[in-house]
Amino acid sequence: MAHVVILGAGTGGMPAAYEMKHALGAGHEVTLISTNDYFQFVPSNPWLGVGWSKREDITFPIRPYVERRGIKFIAKNAEKIDAEAQTITLADGSSVHYDYLMIATGPRLAFELVPGSDPHEGPVQSVCTTDHAELAYGKYQELLENPGPIVIGAMAGASCFGPAYEYAMIVASDLKKRGMRDKVPSFSFVTSEPYIGHLGISGVGDSTGILTKGLEEEGIKAYTNCKVSKVENGEMFITQVNDKGETVKEFTLPVKFGMMIPAFRGIPAVANVEGLCNPGGFVIVDDNQRSKKYSNIYAVGIAIAIPPVEATPVPTGAPKTGYMIESMVSASVYNIKADIEGRVGDKTMGTWNAVCFADMGDRGAAFVALPQIKPRKVDIFAYGRWVHLAKVAFEKYFIRKMKMGVSEPFYERVLFKMMGITRLKEETEVEQRKAS
């Protein structure tokens, strides 16, 4: 009997536990280990950050749902992985032995790269976790009581730009609803992207035109090619560079309330494993989601190393979005099962297509970039009220799916069909990824 441990119970890890157990059946053991005993639906955190959602709407306890499916659950932080001994040491000093490990630990938020940017230290908030989004909402309420300048955007090295645009548009929309938009003296969008709508993937469809217009319509002034060096005494210190990376301007923006997506790094327990990760602490995997160094370690989601789509004057990374993560999970499950069953050479790959739905207030933007690197077979950036409604429905669907113990991405496939994307056969996508 093999023991498969899934580390991290987020967007990748929780579906992975279900899919792994479903694939292996009762003959093998699956254990899910995660720091918190609750699941959080990360894509809805921006709504929590303006009070449009509540914590109880987007979180739920993990244990009763996974245990019902025969999965063991341990709610403890992993402190150390000994890849040679195949053990994980947990926060209470106990250890868990594994035959196969799937790492799904998401990002460590690297606030230390920009002094003063930690949400607990100053005006710049984060919506990357539910705890942070709640904290952001508290600070947002203070802003409503005593309005001041707003800065939203993404730091140098960030890879997840969608939520930055999303939160800027949601805040603008919320201020309008409250009749308070004109009370805010300035509203800026500061980003490390070389141009608006780059999104870490060299743009997609007319992302630049649509997002530029969207920001303009909300009276949000955009600054691109920017590196924030620190946040101090209510000022954000910014260096703006040209296309060659040469400094063209150093300036400060006042900030009473801000939200900047930080650069991500791998979590310490993973980053510290000898030979497992790149310098950023992300697991180096082969085409089959398997560690290049340890043949019984697989990794999915934000925890894996993916090179940037292109070099940008201020460093940016490639996003790892939900549908792509689900495809990594399916590939890992398939490959682990094949390995356990001794089917040598029977392997599959994830599709790694960039698909994202971002809410923009009463509207939304959806993009599909297939493959991530141009030239693409599918290159769509759609905008409209239907995306907002689709994102609302997606939250309900995904949470329900996680409670029911199902991991098949049915809803995403329906949306793809609605967007006219029919070339979804796995072989086609794998072929495209190989070509890129």
Ligand X SMILES: Cc1cc2nc3c(=O)[nH]c(=O)nc-3n(C[C@H](O)[C@H](O)[C@H](O)COP(=O)(O)OP(=O)(O)OC[C@H]3O[C@@H](n4cnc5c(N)ncnc54)[C@H](O)[C@@H]3O)c2cc1C
Does the protein bind ligand X through residue 15 (CB under 6 A)?
no
Cβ closest to ligand X, residue 167 vs residue 334: 167
Q: Which residues contact 124 (CB under 8 A, 6 or more apart)?
A: 116, 117, 151, 231, 236, 255, 258, 259, 260
Cβ closest to ligand X, residue 158 vs residue 241: 158
Does the protein bind ligand X through residue 200 (CB under 6 A)?
no
Asked if omega into 375 is within 30° of 0 (cis), the reply is yes
Half-sphere exposure of 197 (CA within 13 A, CB side): 21
Q: Tell which one of 4, 78, 199, 210 touches ligand X (CB under 6 A).
A: 78
Closest CA to 33 of 84, 83, 86, 105: 105
Cβ closest to ligand X, residue 199 vs residue 302: 302
Residue carrying the six token digits 């792994």: 20
Does the protein bind ligand X through residue 34 (CB under 6 A)?
yes
Does the protein bind ligand X through residue 350 (CB under 6 A)?
no
Cβ closest to ligand X, residue 86 vs residue 313: 86
Does the protein bind ligand X through residue 273 (CB under 6 A)?
no
Q: Tell which one of 19, 43, 157, 200 touches ligand X (CB under 6 A).
A: 43
Contact predicate 159/305, CB 8 Å: no
Contact predicate 285/299, CB 8 Å: yes
Q: Is 128 a catalytic residue?
A: no
Does the protein bind ligand X through residue 157 (CB under 6 A)?
no
Residue 283: DSSP 8-state: B
Cβ closest to ligand X, residue 241 vs residue 415: 415
Does the protein bind ligand X through residue 98 (CB under 6 A)?
no
Does the protein bind ligand X through residue 8 (CB under 6 A)?
yes
CA–CA separation, 379 vs 187, rounded Å?
A: 30
Closest CA to 4 of 84, 103, 145: 103
Choices 39-47, 63-71, 365-373, 406-414; region in contact with ligand X by CB under 6 A: 39-47
Q: Is 226 a catalytic residue?
A: no
Q: Which residue is nearest to ligand X (CB)?
A: 10
What is the gyration radius of the CA atoms in the chain, in angstroms?
A: 21
Name the catalytic one among 128, 226, 277, 356.
356
CA–CA separation, 318 vs 115, rounded Å?
A: 24
Does the protein bind ligand X through residue 321 (CB under 6 A)?
yes
Residues 211-230 binding ligand X (CB under 6 A) are none
Closest CA to 355 of 386, 330, 321: 321
Does the protein bind ligand X through residue 36 (CB under 6 A)?
yes
Residues touching ligand X, count (CB under 6 A): 35
CA–CA separation, 408 vs 326, rounded Å?
A: 8
CA–CA separation, 153 vs 162, rounded Å?
A: 10
Q: Tell which one of 325, 333, 382, 390 touches ligand X (CB under 6 A).
A: 325
The catalytic residue positions are 160, 356
Residues in touch with ligand X (CB under 6 A) = 7-13, 33-36, 42-43, 45-46, 77-78, 104-106, 127-128, 160, 162-163, 267, 269, 301-303, 321-322, 325, 356-357
